């Protein structure tokens, strides 16, 4: 019984196969050969014709595009990650041991440059501030000393110039009254008066030579020479001493200024603020409370991270805040060795960045940096691209892809990549043929982001389906199964 049933089934299967080959409406290729799917190979033949009903054609909304020959800019897609723009990203750290007094902001707050964000109590900073105040006072004293000796030196030089020109004593006394001379006023005026007196007595003795003995005349001459020598010595000593004291005072003032500068730099290093406004920015926040520091934001941006709590002890070098302006971000990628020579990049080159998490949205980017050193572990060069993030849609760490231009192919047969579809690892396109469409196998070459080079299977001027091809493919596969 079982043997009879088996023979009947085999007979029906053979009869069915014979009827299928005799059916006039079965799908055929353009050559008329029956073999729509080539079941031995598991793929379509080189071409297959599909025609849709009016209803299906309307539903498919098919769009075609003419095959053209043009230059094709080939790109490479590099995996990448969003990162902070390091030009606008600051990790605020403690330069010395401190205690967190109070915190004025929280993560997510927008702050302006110079805005107070916290108060710290730091003993080392108190000592540094005390040193600054001491050096400021020392400089003030040294500058007053310099000004004093500068005025005296200038007054002495002016007065001695008049003395050497033998100006009248009345004029010299008037000039001395207007100048700052210190102890040198009395010394110079006294020596000049003695000189003029000796000169007057000698002149008087010379006019009355008949009544005055030669001994007296000789005595008056000696007195004049002695007074002249005393005056000359006084002049020379006054100029030398005041000049030396002036130089010494200038040296001491310069030394005091350098010490103050070093003290301010040490304080600025501790507090983490640099620039010409250090003195004003580092003033105590309360009277005589030198250890209390008002911590201010160094840049305008957003508080990205707060690493400590109020009343917490902060060790030297510990991170307190991370502040960043995320209106621009960097996208970091690696260029592998096989891509170095193929890519043409330099600082300022435009590239495109795709964000898979945002429906593959395309962002315009500008190359900021192409690495000069190969990472010994990855064997790659670093690539940094700047993108705008004015609406803050993207965050550091988000995955992206950077499309980097490589070679240009001239006179390539090019179609949109949306025209391609795959069956069993072979590439096909639908070519319009009147009111029907022919699925034709093609050989592709290099690709860009949205275009592909065709090496064989298409001719310039033919029209390929760029939209609605999914409906045609579905219809094709349904016909093949029937």
Domain boundaries, the chain: 37-85+326-482, 130-267
**Longest C-alpha distance within the chain, in Å?**
187
pLDDT of the residue at 177: 86
Angle between helices 184-207 and 214-271 (to 10 degrees): 160
First vs last Cα of the chain: how many Å apart? 33
pLDDT of the residue at 271: 75
Question: How many C-beta atoms surround the C-beta of residue 337 within 10 A?
Answer: 11
Predicted TM-score of the model (pTM): 0.59
pLDDT of the residue at 72: 83
The whole-angstrom separation of Cα 234 and Cα 164 is: 12
Look at residues 330, 310, 307, 402 and name the one whose alpha carbon lies nearest to residue 93.
307
The whole-angstrom separation of Cα 20 and Cα 37 is: 15
Contacts of 460 (CB under 8 A, 6+ apart): 67, 68, 69, 413
The whole-angstrom separation of Cα 437 and Cα 435 is: 7
Using the Cα atoms of residue 333, residue 307, residue 106 and residue 324 in order, give the sign of their dihedral. Answer: negative
Length of the chain, in residues: 482
Average pLDDT, consecutive stretches of 10 residues, N- to C-terminus, the chain (482 residues): 40 40 36 35 59 75 88 85 95 91 95 92 90 93 95 90 87 86 88 86 73 73 88 91 95 96 87 52 60 88 94 93 96 84 80 93 94 85 94 95 85 89 87 88 85 90 88 78 61
Residue the block writes with tokens 């196998």: 441
- CATH number of the 37-85+326-482 domain: 2.40.30.170
Using the Cα atoms of residue 450, residue 455, residue 460 and residue 465 in order, give the sign of their dihedral. Answer: negative
pLDDT of the residue at 409: 79
pLDDT of the residue at 202: 81
Do residues 339 and 316 lie in contact, with contact meaning Cβ atoms separated by under 8 Å?
no
């Amino acid at each position: 019984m079982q043997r009879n049933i088996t023979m009947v089934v085999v007979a029906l299967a053979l009869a069915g196969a014979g009827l299928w080959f005799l059916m006039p409406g079965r799908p055929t290729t353009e050559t008329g050969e029956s073999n729509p799917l080539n079941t031995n190979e598991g793929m379509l033949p080189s071409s297959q014709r599909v025609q849709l009903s009016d209803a299906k054609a309307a539903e498919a909304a098919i769009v075609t595009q003419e095959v053209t020959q043009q230059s094709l800019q080939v790109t490479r897609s590099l995996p990448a990650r969003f990162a902070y723009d390091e030009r606008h990203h600051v990790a605020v750290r403690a330069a010395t041991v401190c205690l967190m007094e109070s915190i004025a902001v929280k993560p997510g707050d927008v702050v302006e440059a110079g805005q107070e964000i916290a108060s710290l109590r730091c003993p080392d900073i108190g000592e540094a501030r005390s040193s600054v105040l001491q050096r400021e006072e020392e400089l003030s004293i040294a500058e007053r000393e310099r000004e004093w000796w500068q005025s005296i030196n200038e007054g002495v030089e002016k007065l001695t110039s008049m003395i050497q020109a033998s100006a009248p004593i009345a004029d010299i006394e008037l000039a001395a009254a207007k100048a700052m001379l210190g102890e040198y006023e009395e010394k110079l005026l006294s020596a000049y008066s003695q000189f003029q007196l000796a000169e007057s007595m000698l002149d008087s003795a010379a006019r009355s030579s008949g009544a005055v003995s030669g001994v007296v005349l000789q005595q008056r001459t000696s007195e004049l020479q002695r007074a002249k020598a005393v005056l000359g010595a006084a002049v020379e000593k006054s100029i030398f001493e005041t000049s030396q004291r002036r130089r010494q005072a200038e040296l001491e003032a310069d030394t005091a200024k350098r010490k103050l500068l070093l003290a301010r730099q040490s304080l600025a290093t501790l507090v983490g603020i640099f620039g010409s406004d250090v003195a004003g920015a580092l003033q105590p926040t309360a009277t005589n409370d030198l250890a209390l520091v008002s911590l201010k934001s160094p840049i305008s941006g957003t508080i990205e991270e707060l690493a400590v709590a109020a009343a917490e002890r902060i060790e030297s070098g510990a991170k307190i805040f991370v502040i960043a302006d995320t209106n621009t971000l960097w996208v970091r990628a690696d260029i592998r060795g096989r891509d170095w020579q193929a890519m043409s990049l330099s600082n300022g080159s435009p590239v495109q960045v795709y964000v898979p998490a945002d429906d593959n949205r395309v962002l315009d980017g500008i190359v900021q940096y192409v690495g000069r050193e190969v990472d010994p572990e990855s064997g790659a060069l670093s690539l940094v691209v700047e993108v705008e993030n004015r609406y803050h849609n993207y965050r550091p760490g988000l995955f992206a892809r950077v499309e980097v231009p490589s070679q240009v192919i001239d006179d390539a047969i090019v179609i949109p990549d949306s025209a391609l579809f795959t069956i069993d690892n072979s590439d096909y396109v639908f070519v319009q043929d009147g009111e029907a469409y022919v699925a034709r196998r093609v050989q592709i070459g290099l690709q860009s982001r949205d275009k592909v080079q065709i090496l064989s299977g298409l001719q310039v001027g033919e029209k390929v389906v760029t939209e609605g091809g999914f409906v045609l493919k579905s219809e094709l596969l349904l016909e093949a199964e029937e």
